[in-house]
Amino acid sequence: MQKFYKNLSLWLIVALASLFLFHYCKQSPDRHHAVAYTEFLKKVDSGALTSVTIVDNTVSWKATDGTLQQTVVPLTSDALQRLLGKNVTVRAEASSQPPWFLLALLSWLPFLLLGVGWFFYSQKGGGQGGGGRVMAFGKSRARLINPEESKIKLDDVAGIDEAKDEVAEIIDFLKKPQKFVEAGARIPTGVLLYGEPGTGKTLLAKAIAGEAGVPFFSISGSNFVEMYVGIGASRVRDLFNEGKKKAPCIIFIDEIDAVGRHRSSGAGSGGNDEREQTLNQLLVEMDGFEANDHVIVIAATNRQDILDPALLRPGRFDRQVMVPLPDVGGREKILKVHARNTKIGEDVNWQTIAKGTPGFSGAQLASLVNEAALLMTRRNSRAITMEILEAAKDKVLMGAERRSLIITDREKRITACHEAGHTLVAWMLPGTDPVHKVTIIPRGRALGVTMQLPEEERNALDRTYLFHTLCTLLGGRIAEEIKFNQMTTGAGNDLDRVSDLARKMVCEWGMSEAVGPMTFRASNPLSSQPAQIMSEQTAMLIDSEVKKLVQSAYDTARLVVVDHQDILEALTTALVEQETITRTDIQAIVDQVGAR
């Protein structure tokens, strides 16, 4: 509608401009030569004038040479008597009036401009509930999705079956609320969806609304808080008032941690005080619902730990549903959902791709399928093949290839030796994740990558597995030291991961006998929990245990590399020649060297 009015205004301006142009072109007034009043009187007295035309105070005549001349006569002059005394023909005319449309426009133009400005300014209020009202700062900016517009169903959500079961009765209540009211059951006022980013929290909320066939109000937590005090609370009130008018409906607040953080213990000020007022109003609105309101609040966040406890208590967000990362079965279902609108080759094995993407969220899997579709287009292929999916998976996991990067032969061999060291240690130590692929083609910031994929899902990690992971990470650095007798910066990321993992083993998971089964939490500015107080002696003991653990892993990995230098050399040579080797190639190299 707003676009229609803009187009209408544009055509109105064009029409008026054309009308004015036509009017002035049609008039095409003649050019008159101005004559001084004294000169005009001389002409009258000399009898040079025979006929004149008077319009208001202007006298016009045609000279003997054919030119048009005119002069302005003062109001008190006796020019008329002189003209009549000389028998000059005098013709008086009324002054020409502007066209009626010009008079109307000049009369109503200010009011028209004010009206147009009022209309467009009021449209800036935007948002549901703000609907064209001026000064709509305090109106909700939630976007309303009507039932007929919501095309997402629960079948479009895969890989989170437990979370879908948790919200099933919410859908039943929205479809048949009277059944629950008659049974005396109180449906949860709010549902909090929390989990890692990209796991499908927003998609699940939309699917609930689409499945129930009810209006869906969607807004982000950051849209509540403004620089003006009281605006956030006003928007919360307006949002819930609009929700009650559309009941039964769903109000979805994405990233609720933007407004629902822990309130400070003292008096706030500025933006923090405004955020707390907004949170207080949200708490009041949620706790004030009656059974006949039929409004369900669904919120999503990946920072549940920083939410205010009053927001999580029963009566507000009664139900808290964790949306986890999908397991291998869930990943396979998600891949199939995102591949429904693409052409898939007969050789594609979704189970293999699912096993090769541990820890992937739903968003990452969607990105994988999209990358495969783009790669299929670039290769002019008719369908997505297994090879294309593997290439897309490598790009999502390790980054895009940088084949244009110029690497010297020595750097290439050092990189190959480094990756061969990782591969050798991971291959020889029991319980580690199998090596899937090794490449020395630069990807992202890395000059080479060793990819390990678990054979099965791991929900709990034991100390042996973690220790062997430390050994594998150190294998690349050790291989460089043994073969080239020097250290490079290529192991920087490995050492960072080793330090972080070893400290977690000691401080968080109690895997050090000297420190014991205790946790020691460091300060974290993103967490609401304060740092744990520890003595200097304890801090020194933790540092000592972390160093001892890393040194033990280093010695174990070095022993593996020294005992199998022939395999290390064969792997290095294969990487230099082929650039990329797979698990089958590694097995063949190990068997070939072992048979010598």
- Regarding whether 318 and 199 lie in a shared domain, the answer is yes
Query: How far apart are the C-alpha atoms of 551 and 530, rounded to whole Å?
Result: 31
Where is mean pLDDT largest: 131-145, 305-319, 387-401, 503-517? Answer: 503-517
| Last residue of one domain, picked from the residues 93, 110, 145 | 93
pLDDT of 580 strictly over 60: yes
- Regarding whether 334 and 313 lie in a shared domain, the answer is no
Query: Is there a contact between 215 and 147 (Cβ–Cβ < 8 Å)?
Result: yes
Query: How far apart are the C-alpha atoms of 231 and 257, rounded to whole Å?
Result: 18
The per-residue pLDDT for 90 is 64
Whether residue 380 lies inside any domain: the answer is yes
- Regarding whether 447 and 492 lie in a shared domain, the answer is yes
- Regarding whether 517 and 383 lie in a shared domain, the answer is no
Query: How far apart are the C-alpha atoms of 284 and 314, rounded to whole Å?
Result: 13
Share of the chain above pLDDT 90, in %: 14
> In whole numbers, what is the pLDDT of the chain averaged over residues?
79
- Regarding whether 310 and 162 lie in a shared domain, the answer is yes
Higher pLDDT, 134 or 400: 400
Classify 287 as helix, strand or coil: helix
- The amino acid sitting at 427 is W
Q: How many domains does the chain have?
A: 4
Which of the following is catalytic: 419, 455, 456, 508?
419
Q: Tell me the residue range of the domain where 588 lies.
A: 409-594
| Last residue of one domain, picked from the residues 300, 322, 344 | 322
- Regarding whether 196 and 78 lie in a shared domain, the answer is no
Q: What are the tens digits of pLDDT across the range 519-538?
A: 887 655 555 555 667 788 88
In sequence order, which residues have a C-beta less than 8 Å from that of residue 175 and are 6 or more positions away?
212, 213
- Regarding whether 494 and 366 lie in a shared domain, the answer is no
Q: Which of 22-26, 107-111, 303-307, 518-522 has the lowest mean pLDDT?
A: 22-26
Relative to beta strand 68-72, strand 58-62 is: antiparallel
Whether residue 336 lies inside any domain: the answer is yes
The per-residue pLDDT for 481 is 92
Higher pLDDT, 106 or 464: 464
Whether residue 12 lies inside any domain: the answer is no
In sequence order, which residues have a C-beta less than 8 Å from that of residue 509 and are 6 or more positions away?
none
Check which CATH number belongs to the domain holding 47 and give it: 3.30.720.210
Average pLDDT estimate for 347-354 = 86
Whether residue 404 lies inside any domain: the answer is no
Query: How far apart are the C-alpha atoms of 244 and 502, rounded to whole Å?
Result: 54
Q: What are the tens digits of pLDDT across the range 448-490?
A: 888 888 877 777 888 999 999 999 999 999 999 999 888 888 8
Whether residue 6 lies inside any domain: the answer is no
- Regarding whether 487 and 587 lie in a shared domain, the answer is yes
Q: Is 242 a catalytic residue?
A: no
pLDDT of 77 strictly over 70: no
pLDDT of 164 strictly over 50: yes
Whether residue 108 lies inside any domain: the answer is no
- Regarding whether 295 and 159 lie in a shared domain, the answer is yes
Q: What are the tens digits of pLDDT across the range 534-575?
A: 788 888 999 999 999 999 999 999 999 999 999 999 999 999
Query: How far apart are the C-alpha atoms of 249 and 294, rounded to whole Å?
Result: 7
Whether residue 512 lies inside any domain: the answer is yes
Higher pLDDT, 409 or 187: 409
Query: How far apart are the C-alpha atoms of 426 and 428, rounded to whole Å?
Result: 6
Check which CATH number belongs to the domain holding 558 and give it: 1.20.58.760
Where is mean pLDDT largest: 206-215, 348-357, 364-373, 455-464? Answer: 364-373
Where is mean pLDDT largest: 37-41, 181-185, 339-343? Answer: 339-343
The per-residue pLDDT for 181 is 74
Check which CATH number belongs to the domain holding 372 and give it: 1.10.8.60
- Regarding whether 352 and 311 lie in a shared domain, the answer is no
Q: What are the tens digits of pLDDT across the range 186-200?
A: 777 788 898 888 888
Angstrom CA distances, 191 to 29, 142, 188, 256, 558, stand at 78, 18, 7, 12, 52
Query: How far apart are the C-alpha atoms of 471 and 427, rounded to whole Å?
Result: 11
Q: Which of 39-48, 201-210, 231-240, 424-433 has the lowest mean pLDDT?
A: 39-48
Higher pLDDT, 499 or 29: 499
The per-residue pLDDT for 128 is 41
| Last residue of one domain, picked from the residues 376, 398, 420 | 398
Average pLDDT estimate for 243-256 = 84
- Regarding whether 364 and 275 lie in a shared domain, the answer is no
- Regarding whether 293 and 374 lie in a shared domain, the answer is no
Helix (H) or strand (E) holding 130: none
Whether residue 127 lies inside any domain: the answer is no
The per-residue pLDDT for 553 is 94
